[in-house]
């Protein structure tokens, strides 16, 4: 290490992850009741510290796996929270991430271990430090992002119906959409594979199930296509 480096102050580097989920009730946030100091007993985002042998993305994956037992969730960097006094108990710099999780893949046992609980997006309890600000930022990013990237599918089961997909977008954007126009737009991109099966849980008639064709999407992207809802 060069001398110039050794004169610098090192910092504790953490990450916090805003985990979104979606179910019949709408858009949800996964929070943990802290079983450790500081702020033990309060609601907070899941987080962790960066370790020597990993980069920040790996740390985020690790922390996410630790909580949920799942790997390869959609994960996106938000921004660095670095105010000197943001943590009541010492100087910690935190990189915020948000993740999208299919709630039907969840392992409830695993979640209980960390006292984790889903909260409706408009019923979020008071959070420690600047976590509420992080959540607001993540939500804003999700709202922007979901219009131009096919990330909504990360929140739905692998097989889903068009009405379900529409409800998801309505929950994220907080607005109502016209079902004819929504169908037209989403199907016109020709990225959804219609299956034979129907999902009968939502109605007597039942709605056809679809699958997102990721390979086709990747191919089209290479050709200059852009996703839009």
Task: By CB under 7 A, name the binding residues for DNA.
Answer: 161-163, 178-181, 183-185, 198, 200, 202-208, 228
Nearer to DNA (CB atom), residue 90 or residue 224: 224
Q: Of DNA, its own copies, none, which one sits near residue 163, judging by CB under 5 to 8 A according to partner kind? A: DNA
Q: Indicate the residue among 60 and 172 with the shorter CB distance to its own copies.
A: 60
Name the token pair of 213.
Answer: 């064709």
CA–CA gap between residue 56 and residue 97 (Å, rounded): 10
Asked if 224 is part of the footprint of its own copies (rule: CB under 8 A), the reply reads no
Which of its own copies, DNA, none interacts with 140 (beta carbon under 5 to 8 A by kind)? Answer: none
Does 136 contact its own copies by CB under 8 A? no
Closer CB to its own copies, 24 or 53, in the complex: 53
Question: Is residue 175 close enough to count as binding its own copies by CB under 8 A?
Answer: no
Please choose, from the candidates 98, 106, 85, the residue with its C-alpha nearest in 3D space to the C-alpha of residue 23: 106
Is 88 or 203 the residue whose CB approaches DNA more closely?
203
In what helix (H) or strand (E) does residue 131 lie, and over which residues does it extend? Answer: helix 131-148
Question: How far apart are alpha carbons 73 and 138 in whole angstroms?
Answer: 16
Separation in Å, CA 132 to CA 8, 190, 201, 226: 31, 38, 35, 32
Q: Which is nearer to DNA, 114 or 183 (CB)?
A: 183
5 touches its own copies by CB under 8 A: yes
Tokens encoding 32: 């943990």
Neighbouring C-beta atoms of residue 40, cutoff 10 Å: 11
- Which of the stretches 85-93, 124-132, 150-158, 177-185 binds its own copies when contact is defined by CB under 8 A? 85-93
Quote the CA–CA distance of 36 and 114 in Å, as a whole number: 10
Of 160, 44, 150, which Cα lies nearest the Cα of 100? 150
Q: For residue 80, what are the β-bridge partners?
A: 95
Cβ 142 to its own copies shortest distance, Å? 17
Where does this chain bind its own copies (CB under 8 A)?
1-5, 8-13, 36-38, 49-57, 77, 79-80, 82-84, 89-93, 95
């Amino acid at each position: 290490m060069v001398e110039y480096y050794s004169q610098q102050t090192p910092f504790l580097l953490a990450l916090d992850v805003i985990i979104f989920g979606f179910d019949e009730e709408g858009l949800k946030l996964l929070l943990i009741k802290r079983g450790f100091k500081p702020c033990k007993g309060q609601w907070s985002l899941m987080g962790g510290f960066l370790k020597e042998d990993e980069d920040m993305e790996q740390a985020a994956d690790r922390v996410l796996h630790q909580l949920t037992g799942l790997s390869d969730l959609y994960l996106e960097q938000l921004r660095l929270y670095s105010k000197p006094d943001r943590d009541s108990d010492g100087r910690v710099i935190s990189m915020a991430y948000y993740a999208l999780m299919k709630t039907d893949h969840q392992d409830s046992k695993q979640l209980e271990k960390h006292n984790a609980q889903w909260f409706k997006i408009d019923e979020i309890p008071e959070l420690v430090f600047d976590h509420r600000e992080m959540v607001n930022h993540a939500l804003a990013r999700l709202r922007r992002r979901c219009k131009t990237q096919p990330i909504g599918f990360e929140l739905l089961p692998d097989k889903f119906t068009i009405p379900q997909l529409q409800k998801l977008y309505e929950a994220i954007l907080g607005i109502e959409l016209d079902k004819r126009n929504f169908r037209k737009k989403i199907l016109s991109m020709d990225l959804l594979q219609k299956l034979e099966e129907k999902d009968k849980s939502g109605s007597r008639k039942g709605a056809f199930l679809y699958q997102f064709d990721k390979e086709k999407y990747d191919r089209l992207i290479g050709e200059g296509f852009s996703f839009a809802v």
